[in-house]
Amino acid sequence: MDRQKLMDTLIPAAWEAAKNAYVPYSGFRVGAALLTKSGKLYPGCNIENSAYGPTNCAERTAIFSAVAQGEREFTAIAVVGQFADGTPAGGEGFAYPCGVCRQVMAEFCHPDEFLVLLENHQGERKALTLRELLPYGFVLRD
Ligand code: THU
């Protein structure tokens, strides 16, 4: 799939997934759509918790759902987010993945091949490699 097709497929799926976000504390809805190399799409949303710490980000919800189904090879993930009233995220409206989610991506995804696709409230899009988002990531063994 070329980059344009990837964007056109995954980004709307991520906005759709954001509708399921459970966000009674922050009100910030995040959606993710993860494409496996086998061609399956796994949605994810953020799921908050009254104890705050157990909150799961949309990206990890998608990745863990896929891994739980036996998938371990991924092509790209789209991530979008905004407040429930439509207020955009900081960072010019791009919902950049947090550090924890970047590290989880690094566990399964190739740094130069895996793409993180983003769209802001103005419809501007970005495609970043995992290495661009997580340079010099931790490596346990070469
Ligand atoms: N959040 C995500 O879902 N993904 C990220 O990469 C960063 C933050 C969620 C967690 C929390 O529910 C809300 O956004 C506000 O931090």
- Please give the C-alpha separations between residue 135 and each of 5, 37, 80, 94, in angstroms, as whole numbers: 26, 23, 22, 19
108 lines ligand 1 (CB under 6 A): no
142 pLDDT band, cuts 50/70/90, is confident
39 sits in the region (left: phi over 0; alpha: psi -120 to 50; else beta) called left
Nearest CA to ligand 1 atom 6: 97
Question: How many whole angstroms separate alpha carbon 10 and alpha carbon 103?
Answer: 21
pLDDT value of position 126: 98
Q: Which atom of ligand 1 is nearest to the CA of 46?
A: 3
What single DSSP character describes residue 142?
-
Q: What is the pLDDT of residues 78-116, one digit of tens each?
A: 999 999 999 999 999 999 999 999 999 999 999 999 999
Distance 57 CA to ligand 1 centre (A): 5
Q: What is the pLDDT of residue 26?
A: 98
58 CA distance to ligand 1 middle (Å): 7
pLDDT digits (tens, 9 = 90+) for 40-88: 999 999 999 999 999 999 999 999 999 999 999 999 999 999 999 999 9
Residue 1 confidence class, pLDDT cut points 50, 70, 90: confident
Query: What is the residue-wise DSSP string for 90-109?
Result: TTTT--PPPHHHHHHHHHHS
**138 CA from centroid of ligand 1 (Å):** 22
Active-site residue set: 59
Q: What is the pLDDT of residue 109?
A: 97
